[in-house]
Homo-oligomer: A and B are copies of this chain.
Amino acid sequence: MQIQNKFTMPIGVFDSGVGGLTVAREIMRQLPSENVVYFGDTARVPYGSKSKDTIIRFSRQIIRFLKTKDVKAIVIACNTASALALETVQAETDIPVIGVIAPGARAAVKETKNRKIGVVGTEATIRSETYTKVIRSHLPDASVIGKPCPLFVPLVEEGFAKHSITEQVIDIYLSAMKDTDIDTMILGCTHYPLLRSKIMAYLGDRVHIVNPAYETAMDLKAVLSEQGISNMSGNPGNYDFYVSDAAEKFTKFANSILPYDIATTQCINIEEY
């Protein structure tokens, strides 16, 4: 009975806000029978400018919340939290916890021909050099160039993704990167796939763009399979959405990103966990 239940237990997915929906979308596509509980920390978003201690504290609270929903595995669908908190919370948690950095780094390592890889992300993600460390664990002589792009998230959130202002900001942040001979670049923040076409157009065909969401869902699939806890029912999964603030705004954004409309998002006080 216990084992039977484990199959249908949901996957917990969390992010500082809406960006992680690009990862959730990929999980829903690759693992259509899995149930998913998504949490977006909209009361404390953004994470990218905050300290390691704070991001660890926030991640612990969210994991405690997700465990009340009986999740069988957790995906940290946020690069900043993956970079700063994954190791700490993995050591404390008795179910699998997966981040987005290792899958993204691995995808870049597979892709690169000249071992020169660019990474864009939040200030905290780039400062942590987590991508560099993981890439070098696979390719010790890789050259990794990181660049924080702190205006990308507000530009996306304020609806400027398709605006010419965003092209100018891309030019400011990435002109030095463009002058290098990287052949691969990782979009190291879950908001950035929403700027993908503009970044691709700017860098040109020479640079392959890696979105860690796809590989993260692949990783999750492998972990569930290894542990014998995949949901093989063949039924479509149920999806539940929780946020720490502004549920309506979240629902609207989610409906613009996900391939179906979500009914409701519930607001909880994450500080109580």
Q: Name A's B-contacting residues (CB within 8 A).
A: 42-45, 49-51, 53-54, 57, 150-151, 154-155, 157-158, 160, 165, 168-169, 172, 244-246, 269, 271
CB pair A245–B165 under 8 Å, yes or no, is no
Q: Among B154, B245, B246, which residue has its beta carbon within 8 angstroms of that of A154? A: B154
Count of this chain's copies in the oligomeric assembly: 2
CB pair A49–B165 under 8 Å, yes or no, is no
In the assembled complex, the Cα of A271 lies from the Cα of B44 at a distance in Å of 12
In the assembled complex, the Cα of A44 lies from the Cα of B43 at a distance in Å of 7
Shortest A115–chain B CB gap in Å is 31
Report chain B residues within 8 Å CB of A158.
Answer: 150-151
Q: List, sorted by A's number, 18 A–B pairs whose CB atoms are closer than 8 Å.
A: A42-B50, A43-B54, A44-B44, A49-B157, A50-B245, A51-B246, A53-B245, A54-B244, A54-B246, A150-B154, A150-B157, A150-B158, A151-B154, A154-B154, A165-B165, A165-B168, A168-B168, A271-B271
Report chain B residues within 8 Å CB of A160.
Answer: 151
Report chain B residues within 8 Å CB of A155.
Answer: 151
Report chain B residues within 8 Å CB of A150.
Answer: 154, 157-158
In the assembled complex, the Cα of A172 lies from the Cα of B50 at a distance in Å of 29
Report chain B residues within 8 Å CB of A51.
Answer: 245-246
In the assembled complex, the Cα of A172 lies from the Cα of B166 at a distance in Å of 13
Shortest A269–chain B CB gap in Å is 8
Report chain B residues within 8 Å CB of A49.
Answer: 45, 157, 246
Closest chain B residue to A44, Cβ basis? B44
In the assembled complex, the Cα of A271 lies from the Cα of B57 at a distance in Å of 11
CB pair A54–B154 under 8 Å, yes or no, is no
Shortest A148–chain B CB gap in Å is 9
CB pair B154–A165 under 8 Å, yes or no, is no
Shortest A128–chain B CB gap in Å is 14
In the assembled complex, the Cα of A176 lies from the Cα of B74 at a distance in Å of 47
Report chain B residues within 8 Å CB of A246.
Answer: 49-51, 54
In the assembled complex, the Cα of A165 lies from the Cα of B171 at a distance in Å of 11
Report chain B residues within 8 Å CB of A244.
Answer: 54
Shortest A248–chain B CB gap in Å is 9
Shortest A202–chain B CB gap in Å is 16
In the assembled complex, the Cα of A160 lies from the Cα of B169 at a distance in Å of 10
